[in-house]
């Protein structure tokens, strides 16, 4: 029998039961209680971060800490609906606090104006889940390795123009329940022939099935050996977005920022060079990622933020409530095509 993670059992008040009535009907009281007892750290209050914050606050977590040292800019006002247009020059986390808190007064929402890179290890260990947006590869790897040792759920995500991705590491053994149609077994004394003796699915009844999923670290997921025969065999089925992610993370590492529309010509040339260098280092053909991607990976687009924020927020809720199968372990979205794909990278 699988033991679910035991936490202090939070009491759902009558007011909370009314507030979360639809959710309780959807995923059950136990799942809502787990969610209500969870504290989440959200780093990065850009367009994607605002969408994730909204979804977690409305879902009813116990507490949400908004961590961001950046100032509100004209661009962030266009993609980020939690900051007032009059807040330019203010800290993004602080400027987002009032509107975020007003979404659901039952959730404890806090703003932290420090740099996420300056936070000591102990800071991250006070949360049940950590969600990183707009962060460097080195920082994400560091926090992921730290939290995975303490059974803290880790999520990473970003939006670059028409493209978006999310990664999650829920630990080597993530337990959850999934609702399945109930299979009705025939009675032993049935004399109606072989068809009557077969098990049948009753669409009107469901049962909860306990399951387990295993995840790897972000470092392992990004360090796939593409020279191995197994990796080569699966290369044609590999989403090109995985390699695009490598390119955009390398750009952020080298420049300390993302591609900027105001430096389109120079950044486009640099993206092309980084593409060639990254794919060569991964030992895959540069033909995997043609030049078309360059025109579509600048800025945060609000519709893509909405999609990715919905998916990322949903995955955090599913992980904390231990309800329904999680995405394992990457989700990629292409706004040009209007579709997304879930794929696993790392050791099996």
Spatial separation of the C-alpha atoms in residues 194 and 127, rounded to whole Å: 55
CA angle, residues 311, 315, 319, in degrees to nearest 5: 175
Tally of CB atoms within 10 A around 144 = 26
Question: What integer is the mean pLDDT of 223-243?
Answer: 91
Burial of 280 (C-beta count, 10 Å sphere; 0-12/13-18/19+): exposed
Spatial separation of the C-alpha atoms in residues 95 and 101, rounded to whole Å: 11
Give the least confident one: 72-81, 144-153, 322-331, 334-343: 72-81
Spatial separation of the C-alpha atoms in residues 35 and 26, rounded to whole Å: 13
Give the least confident one: 58-72, 175-189, 331-345: 175-189
pLDDT-derived band at 74 (thresholds 50, 70, 90) equals confident
Beta-strand runs (E) in the chain: 39-43, 63-67, 108-112, 129-133, 153-160, 163-169, 174-184, 200-213, 330-334, 339-343
Please answer whether residues 152 and 130 qualify as being in contact, where contact means their C-beta atoms are separated by less than 8 angstroms.
Answer: yes
pLDDT at 2: 37
pLDDT at 132: 98
Residue positions counted in the chain: 348
pLDDT at 293: 94
User: What value does the mean pLDDT of the chain take?
Assistant: 91
- Sort strands 153-160 and 63-67 into parallel, antiparallel or unpaired: unpaired
Encode pLDDT of 177-230 as tens digits: 998 888 777 665 555 556 555 667 777 788 889 999 999 999 999 999 999 888
Contacts for 4 with CB less than 8 Å, ≥ 6 apart: 175, 177, 210, 322
Res 251 pLDDT > 70: yes
Question: What integer is the mean pLDDT of 254-276?
Answer: 96
Please answer whether residues 57 and 40 qualify as being in contact, where contact means their C-beta atoms are separated by less than 8 angstroms.
Answer: no
Res 3 pLDDT > 70: no
Backbone phi, psi, residue 75, to 5°: -65, -40
Greatest extent of the chain over all pairs of C-alpha atoms, in Å: 79
Between residues 55 and 78, the one the model is more confident about? 55
Q: Does domain 12-171+299-341 have CATH number 3.40.50.720?
A: yes
DSSP3 helix / strand / coil % (the chain, rounded to 5): 45, 20, 35
Contacts for 176 with CB less than 8 Å, ≥ 6 apart: 210, 211, 212, 213, 318, 319, 322, 323, 324, 325, 326
- CA distance between the termini of the chain: 23
Whether the pTM exceeds 0.85: the reply is yes
Helices 92-103 and 47-59 pack at an angle, to 10 degrees, of 30
Strand 63-67's sheet: what is its strand order? 108-112, 63-67, 39-43, 129-133, 153-160, 163-169, 330-334, 339-343
Spatial separation of the C-alpha atoms in residues 32 and 153, rounded to whole Å: 17
Backbone phi, psi, residue 339, to 5°: -140, 165
SS3 (DSSP) at 176: strand
Give the least confident one: 94-98, 157-161, 191-195, 215-219: 191-195
Res 49 pLDDT > 60: yes
Residue-range domain boundaries for the chain: 12-171+299-341, 216-293
pLDDT-derived band at 16 (thresholds 50, 70, 90) equals confident
- Which of 38, 52, 310, 308 lies closest to 151 in space, CA to CA? 38
- Which of 249, 248, 253, 174 lies closest to 216 in space, CA to CA? 174
Question: What integer is the mean pLDDT of 73-80?
Answer: 84
DSSP string for 203-214: EEEEEEEEEEE-
């Amino acid at each position: 029998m699988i033991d679910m993670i035991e936490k202090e059992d939070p009491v759902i008040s009558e007011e909370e039961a009314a507030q979360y009535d639809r959710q309780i009907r959807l995923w059950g009281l136990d799942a809502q209680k787990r969610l209500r007892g969870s504290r989440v750290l959200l780093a990065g209050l850009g367009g994607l971060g605002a969408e994730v914050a909204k979804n977690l606050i409305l879902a009813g977590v116990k507490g949400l800490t908004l961590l961001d040292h950046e100032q509100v800019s004209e661009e962030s006002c266009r993609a980020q609906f939690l900051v007032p247009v009059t807040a330019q020059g203010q800290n993004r986390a602080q400027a987002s606090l009032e509107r975020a808190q007003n979404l659901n007064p039952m959730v404890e929402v806090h703003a932290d104006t420090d740099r996420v890179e300056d936070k000591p290890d102990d800071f991250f260990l006070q949360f049940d889940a950590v969600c990183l947006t707009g962060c460097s590869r080195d920082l994400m790897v560091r926090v992921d390795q730290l939290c995975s040792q303490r059974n803290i759920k880790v999520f990473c995500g970003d939006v670059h123009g028409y493209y978006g991705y999310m990664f999650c590491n829920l630990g080597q053994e993530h337990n959850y329940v999934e609702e399945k149609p109930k299979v009705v077994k025939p009675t032993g004394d049935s004399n109606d022939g072989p068809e009557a003796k077969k098990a049948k699915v009753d669409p009107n009844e469901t049962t909860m099935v306990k399951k387990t999923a295993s995840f790897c670290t972000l470092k392992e997921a990004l360090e796939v050996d593409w020279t191995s025969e197994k990796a080569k065999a699966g290369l044609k089925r590999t989403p090109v977005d995985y390699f695009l992610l490598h390119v955009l993370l390398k750009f952020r590492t080298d420049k300390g920022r993302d591609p900027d529309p105001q430096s389109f010509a120079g950044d486009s040339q640099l993206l092309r060079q980084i593409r060639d260098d990254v794919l060569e280092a991964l030992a895959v053909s540069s033909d995997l990622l043609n030049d078309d991607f360059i025109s579509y990976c600048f800025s945060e687009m609000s519709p893509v933020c909405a999609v990715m924020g919905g998916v990322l927020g949903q995955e955090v809720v599913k992980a904390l409530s231990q309800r329904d199968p999680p995405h394992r372990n990457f989700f990629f979205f292409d706004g040009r095509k209007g579709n997304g794909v879930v794929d696993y990278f790392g050791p099996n």
